[in-house]
Amino acid sequence: MTSTQTNRPIYLDHHASTPTDPRVLEAMLPYFSEHFGNPHSIQHVIGRTAAEAVERARAQVAALISADVREVVFTSGATESNNIAIKGAAWFAREHQGKDHIVTAVSEHKCVLESCARLEREGFRVTYLPVDRDCQVDLDALADAIEEKTILVSLMAAQNEVGSLAPIEAIGAITRERGVLFHTDAAQAVGKMPLDVNAANIDLMSISGHKIYGPKGVGVLYVRRRPRARLEPLFDGGGQERGIRSGTVAPALVVGIGEACAVAGEGMAEENARLSELRGRMWRRIETALPDTMLNGSLEHRLAANLNLSFPRTDGTALIEALSEDVCVSSGSACTSGAVESSYVLRAMGLSDAEAGSSLRIGLGRGTTEHEIDAAADRIIAEVVRLRATPAKGAAE
């Protein structure tokens, strides 16, 4: 794969984006050339070929999450999926059931929080649950927050900065019992851990192509049929994807996310064991050299590929900048266009501004090797030591 060459930077930002898997790329390419048809032009054979590819991809996605093919709606990405799930469910329930309340958490992805903020401007009420030091919500607090007019609970399956895994089955049991919808942003979780929409009573789930070694520009919204999760579409016109998502479905992209799901499903346990081993190796190496390093979040309920560390007395921005030629890591979510502010997620977990501002998010991936892990750890250690020795204005505190 990509990164065994020594002259390339080591890519450890797989939560921001993953390289497209060669198998995925190979599956996609014919749909940019000989099979270029519009999948909705089923009156002719070129359109039908594209339509068949779309349906094969739908089955691949459904298989990975134990869903019915009719529950898989293709979108332009997890951001759009989250927007449709949250705003769509809210609009529908207000119109038809007179409900107006949403429950989510302070640690959700920006697009979930922004969708909720948008709904607040439209008069909806939103409860933002706090999280603890491990980035977990309290299930009793969740149960207490659900009220008569609650439409939906939106809690992510795996956190994008600290990799914390939510107890989705326990959450799904609560939401099902209380008769509210459960939406989970699973952009970081799908393909990286077993996910069964039925076992967890998930009603709506967002998936991203480019977070699972598929292409950018495509995602999925899982929409439960029984009991049916009812949504207002974000936009109309054409009525594709069962009216939930209009617009020409892009066969190449959809084939890409389908294949990415199929590939992710193979050998997931082995890959997780490998990543967990590498992640542990990196953590031990850094902790040994820099014993005051803080591990943010628990190691127990965590994505195998995630490490989030704070280096006291070190400016995280300067550290990332110093590393940027050899080791690609980030301070948190890639969103907000490079605007580097300390992570709201870490602060919500109770870290001080200084602690949050000295953090690194490290995301391992399918191509990550032991050699890279050692090299990256050594570079990080060296830069932390160097920055601490340099009396720069950037040093925190």
Residues 135-194 that bind other proteins (CB under 8 A): none
Q: Which helix (H) or strand (E) holds 27?
A: helix 22-28
- Nearest approach in angstroms of CB 35 to other proteins is 9
Residues within window 244-273 making contact with other proteins, judged by CB under 8 A: 246-253
**CB-wise, 246 or 369, nearer to other proteins?**
246
Query: How far, in Å, CA of 342 to CA of 362, rounded?
Result: 16
- Nearest approach in angstroms of CB 306 to other proteins is 16
**CB-wise, 238 or 267, nearer to other proteins?**
238
Per-residue x/- track, 199-218, other proteins (CB under 8 A): ---------x-x----xxxx
**CB-wise, 120 or 169, nearer to other proteins?**
120
DSSP per-residue codes, 112-133: HHHHHHHHHHTT-EEEEE---T
- What does the DSSP 8-state code read for residue 31? G
CA-closest candidate to residue 198, choices 168, 157, 166: 168
- Given the rule CB under 8 A, which of 22-30, 149-157, 189-197, 368-376 is the region that contacts other proteins? 22-30
What is the C-alpha end-to-end distance of the chain, expressed in Å?
A: 41
Residues within window 61-80 making contact with other proteins, judged by CB under 8 A: 75-80
Torsion of CA 349, 351, 356, 358, to 10 degrees: -140
Residue 123 CB-density burial (10 A; 0-12 exposed, 13-18 middle, 19+ buried): exposed
- Nearest approach in angstroms of CB 146 to other proteins is 24
176 alpha carbon, distance to own chain's centre: 23
Q: Is 213 left (phi over 0), alpha (psi -120 to 50) or beta?
A: left
Query: How far, in Å, CA of 17 to CA of 117, rounded?
Result: 26
Q: What is the largest CA-CA distance in the chain?
A: 70
Q: Is 44 in the site for other proteins (CB under 8 A)?
A: yes
Partners of 205 in the β-ladder: 184, 222
Query: How far, in Å, CA of 387 to CA of 120, rounded?
Result: 43
| Member of 52, 55, 68, 114 binding other proteins (CB under 8 A) | 114
CA-closest candidate to residue 172, choices 193, 209, 133, 146: 146
**CB-wise, 8 or 284, nearer to other proteins?**
8
**CB-wise, 51 or 151, nearer to other proteins?**
51
| Contact between residue 71 and residue 61 where contact means Cβ atoms under 8 Å apart | no
**CB-wise, 29 or 299, nearer to other proteins?**
29
Query: How far, in Å, CA of 347 to CA of 357, rounded?
Result: 9
267 Cβ contact list (under 8 Å, min separation 6): none
Per-residue x/- track, 217-246, other proteins (CB under 8 A): xx---------------xxxxxxx--x--x
- Nearest approach in angstroms of CB 395 to other proteins is 20
Nearest 5°: the CA angle 291, 329, 379 is 50
**CB-wise, 179 or 243, nearer to other proteins?**
243
**CB-wise, 117 or 382, nearer to other proteins?**
117
- Given the rule CB under 8 A, which of 23-31, 269-277, 278-286, 345-353 is the region that contacts other proteins? 23-31
Task: Give catalytic status of residue 335 as yes or no.
Answer: yes
Size of the site for other proteins (CB under 8 A): 77
- Given the rule CB under 8 A, which of 113-121, 164-172, 303-311, 375-383 is the region that contacts other proteins? 113-121
- Nearest approach in angstroms of CB 3 to other proteins is 9
| Member of 5, 6, 7, 33 binding other proteins (CB under 8 A) | 33
Residues within window 283-322 making contact with other proteins, judged by CB under 8 A: 320-321
What are residue 154's phi and psi, to 5 degrees?
A: -115, 110
Residues within window 334-393 making contact with other proteins, judged by CB under 8 A: 334-340
Residues within window 315-334 making contact with other proteins, judged by CB under 8 A: 320-321, 324-325, 328-330, 333-334
| Member of 23, 47, 285, 289 binding other proteins (CB under 8 A) | 47
Rg (CA), the chain: 21
> Which residue out of 111, 116, 328, 335 is catalytically annotated?
335
Residues acting as catalytic residues: 335
